[in-house]
Amino acid sequence: MEQRKDRSPWVWIPTLYFFQGIPYSIVMITSGLIYKTMGISIASFAFWTSLLYLPWAIKPLWSPYIDVVSTKRNWVIWTQLLLGVAFIAVGIAMPLPVFYPLTIAIFAVIAISSASHDIAADGFYMYALDQHKQAFFVGIRSTFYRFAMLTALGLLPVIAGLIQKNTGLESVSFEARSVPAEEFTPFDPSGINISKSEKEPSILLFPGELQVPVFQAGKSEIDSSVIYIALSAPPEEGETVVVNVIRKTGSKDIDISKKQTGRFEFTSINWNTPVALSVKVNHNLTDRTSSGFLITAGNIAFSWTVSLAIIGVVLLLLAIYNRIMLPHPVEESNREKIGWSVYKDVFVSFFTKPGIIPALLFFLFYRLGESQLVKVATPFLVDSRSSGGIGLTSAQYGIAYGTIGMACLTLGGILGGITAAKFGLKRLIFIMALCMNIPISVYIYLSFVQPMPGDISIYLSIALEQFGYGFGFTAYMLYMLHFVGESRYKTAEYAIGTSLMALGMMLPGMISGSMKELLGYQHFFIYVILCSIPGLIAIRFLRIDPAFGIKKKDK
């Protein structure tokens, strides 16, 4: 079969960078949602998943090997196949009693493989495209990379949420009806007596139907009522049943109290200890009305097993597609022996370039705020309202990132690449940096206001943050391409740049969980905004060719 040295970038850049984004996004971001729903503490998983940045941070140690042994194309295909199998393995491990250390170990294998894939893919990109096409398609590749992130942040949780809704214990529902304050009789929980059932556990409600008093200023300050939830029998030893309550039908004026989320955990120890769910009326409500609530208790471990297995299969299919569609550009591939001289040449070439000091500061600090935000944003959005979170379900979280967020990310990424290719990186880099960091402030708004799950302001906030990221991150990728230039070892040198970026993500990310616990959500997000300042200052001292990225006119 004849090998094509040239092929339209549109047929392989989207799939190559969509693939590149999946492992990174799941290991670094979606794992937070997975471990949060599986009952692991934020401080613990923030530390361990941040430590998994290490392969991306130290990948220059083996990047020269990838640069001179075999071809970048071969490295891309074989690492893609390995990653597909590894994600299926993570899914299989989720229901096991030792899932936490086992999945962390498999994620470590994924991180090493993904870092190797990144080295090869980025080198392949530089060999297959000229400078102008690199600048033009950097926005496209960033967009599909972010599509991958939204698949991990959006589609994966949606699939898991649907499975959680339709598996596990049988769902139950209850109706909350508003009544005048004089007709309201509070339910007395002292009469609750739960006898252990010999059947499978089921969800119990006390009372079956709930009355909520209408708020009457100056007459009756009572505006809420409590329903109690428990199980009829204990779960299996070591198993946790997670119960989620959401409003499904009826008036929005009756909903779960802002201070609570509808998420409760039951084990073999507390299964017969009723938990209290407070339902509150809007103070503007004056009439009788009702609202219907659904209570589900799906199989969380199974939901992640299916979701991760699906991702693994998709990655295997993409590997097969890329095996067929990637072109065969002329690469400087040889089988010279890897020795200290090669490493010396690579590192000397990189660290003796003009303007290396401000470049290093830029690589390390440009994402200082984002590195900590990504570890805490997901737990914040799904955490209980009493803990300062928003209280989204897995499905709601997925929809928030997978609809408006995806559209705005696409627009931002494409606009960033096209704009940079027209005006050049030097003129736009500071504006792009502002666009990337200022939208982080939406989390300050969300943490102070705490809009209810489903509120449009949540979706608009995520949309703004996604657009800013898509537009602003283009500058980072373009500067790395500019800094490497036409070096002999540009694949290895580009890997050094991305490893410094990973180091700038890993170290702050490791303390992000502890900083959140120290500061609380509100002050943590203010602190994150302040962390963006060093990267903005570093831009002032970067040396950038004003013509970089702009298409050269034919003479």
Distance CA 506, CA 521 (A): 20
The structure tokens 């989620």 sit at 244
**Contact by Cβ (8 Å): 249, 292:** yes
Q: Give 298's pLDDT tier (boundaries 50, 70, 90).
A: confident
- The per-residue pLDDT for 549 is 64
Distance CA 307, CA 159 (A): 6
Residue 441, pLDDT > 70, answer yes
Q: Give 2's pLDDT tier (boundaries 50, 70, 90).
A: very low
More confident residue, 343 or 73: 73
Question: Residues of the chain with pLDDT > 70: what percent?
Answer: 92
Q: Is 200 helix (H, G, I), strand (E, B) or coil?
A: coil
Task: Please give the C-alpha separations between residue 194 and each of 81, 91, 127, 201, 244, in angstroms, as whole numbers.
Answer: 52, 36, 69, 12, 21
Residue 522, pLDDT > 50, answer yes
Question: Residues of the chain with pLDDT > 90: what percent?
Answer: 23
Residue 516, pLDDT > 70, answer yes
Residue 340, pLDDT > 70, answer no
Distance CA 319, CA 5 (A): 19
Q: What's the whole-number average pLDDT of the chain?
A: 83
Task: Please give the C-alpha separations between residue 533 and each of 97, 182, 361, 375, 513, in angstroms, as whole numbers.
Answer: 44, 57, 12, 19, 21
Exposed, middle or buried: residue 188 (CB in 10 Å: 0-12, 13-18, 19+)? exposed
**Across residues 336-363, what is the average pLDDT?**
79
pTM beyond cutoff 0.75? no
Residue 555, pLDDT > 60, answer no
**Contact by Cβ (8 Å): 349, 107:** no
Q: What residues pair up with 279 in beta bridges, in sequence order?
A: 225, 256
- The per-residue pLDDT for 226 is 93
All structural domains of the chain, each given as residue ranges with its CATH number in brackets, are: 9-165+302-539 (1.20.1250.20), 168-297 (no CATH)
Concatenated DSSP letters for 384-412?
A: -GGGTS----HHHHHHHHHTHHHHHHHHH
How do residues 261-289 score in pLDDT, each as one tens digit? 677 888 889 999 999 999 998 888 888 88
How do residues 154-192 score in pLDDT, each as one tens digit? 788 888 888 877 778 888 999 999 999 888 888 888 888
CA-angle at 296, arms to 292 and 300, nearest 5°: 150
- The per-residue pLDDT for 170 is 86
DSSP symbol at 552: P
Residue 90, pLDDT > 50, answer yes
CA-angle at 260, arms to 267 and 519, nearest 5°: 95
How do residues 449-505 score in pLDDT, each as one tens digit? 888 877 888 888 988 888 888 888 888 878 888 887 767 777 778 778 877 877 887
| Radius of gyration of the CA atoms of the chain, in A | 26
Q: Is 353 helix (H, G, I), strand (E, B) or coil?
A: coil
- Cis amide leading into 207 (omega within 30): yes
DSSP symbol at 183: G
Tokens of 1: 């079969």
More confident residue, 173 or 344: 173
**Across residues 515-537, what is the average pLDDT?**
91
Q: Of 20, 27, 90, nearest to 375 (Cα)?
A: 27
Which span out of 45-59, 140-154, 519-533 was modeled with the highest average pLDDT? 519-533
Please state the separation of Cα 383 from the chain's center in Å: 15
- The per-residue pLDDT for 334 is 46
- Residue 250: which H helix or E strand, with range? strand 241-250
